Amino acid sequence: MVSKLSIDNFLLQSPNHPVIDVRAPKEFLHGHIPGAINLPLFTDEERAAVGTLYKQQGREQAMMLGLEYYGKNMQRIISDLKNYSSDKQLFIHCWRGGMRSGVVSWMLDLWGYKVFTLQGGYKSFRRTVLDSFSVPKNILILGGKTGSAKTEILTALKNKNEQTVDLENLAHHKGSAFGAIGETAPPTQEQFENNLFFEFKNSDAAKPIWLEDESQRIGTVNIPNDLWIQMRNAKVMYVEIPFEERLKYIVEHYGKFDIEQLKAATIRVQKRLGGLETKNALQFFDEGNFVAAFSILLRYYDKFYQRATDLRKQETIERIAFEFIDPLLISERIMTTEQQSTYTK
């Protein structure tokens, strides 16, 4: 017998079991529940054909065409499912929790699986995702100018069992005009939100969770506005690192990339960087003088970051100075400082 679950119970009971998304591949690629397996009832072309027929000739004709596809596609789904998992407990959904998940679940139930379906389908999941970002969160922000190794510090915090969310990793972007260099293709906005939701869902709401200070837009995706407002109002542990140390870090991490990619990224900020500075930076890249080129760019980003920091409530910022970059040492120091600050409130 197929059991229907609310979104809360679906998410509660589905971990460690296959979550099967029977929507068409294009729907799945646009956004899906993290970890879900796409076993579509219809291909993209079949779904389009059924939809067109529904509009032109009505429900019955569309259903008849769907039945023509159903038999062979169910054979494929059952065969593919065996390749993914031997688990006999399945969690299945479509877009609205209607016909597609219903007919697939019915057949898999007959096939001997214990099947759970999602009431309201993926649409109910998306509603839950979007609503979640307005829920108050126990956020701590790791701040510091470009080249302060904030990502490495986040990793060090995570290794010390602190809760962290790496927004740049989720966005597949390092958060500047140079941020796409060396990264894989970014997720859709919808998938970014889904993945971000799971990061918070799998954390302990009673404990702080660290996020890096970011612009609202990271590459091609945006931090949801309700979450962004919380981040801008959260306490900031601001790491102050000397310019020369940050410059060495930038040269070490970005100097290994293709010069033409670095030049293209520089050109993307030329309106704000200025004609002369852009020309000088490009010339330094051509000469292989990465220190001089990145020095120009780092000063630009320092001004940009400082303006954003100045817009924060200054009483929320705890500044901690370091002479050099050592992610392990910095993580220990900011943890101690934050704990002492919390204790003395």
Catalytic positions, written as ranges: 94
User: What's CA 248's distance to the chain center, in Å?
Assistant: 29
- For the chain, what's the residue count? 345
Question: What's the token pair of residue 25?
Answer: 């591949």
Q: Which of 153, 140, 181, 146 is nearest to 266 (CA)?
A: 181
Q: Based on the number of CB atoms within 10 Å of its own CB, is 292 exposed (0-12), middle (13-18) or buried (19 or more)?
A: middle
Residue with tokens 């506005």: 225
- Distance CA(150)–CA(322), nearest Å, equals 13
Q: C-alpha dihedral over 134, 136, 140, 144, to 10 degrees?
A: 30
H helices of 202-258, where?
Answer: 225-233, 243-254
Please, are residues 90 and 60 in contact by the beta-carbon 8 Å criterion? Answer: no
Strands 37-38 and 163-165: unpaired
- Distance CA(218)–CA(226), nearest Å, equals 16
Please, are residues 325 and 245 in contact by the beta-carbon 8 Å criterion? Answer: yes
Please, are residues 230 and 137 in contact by the beta-carbon 8 Å criterion? Answer: yes
Please, are residues 91 and 18 in contact by the beta-carbon 8 Å criterion? Answer: yes
C-alpha dist (Å) from residue 324 to 113, 246, 251, 291, 331? 58, 8, 15, 17, 13
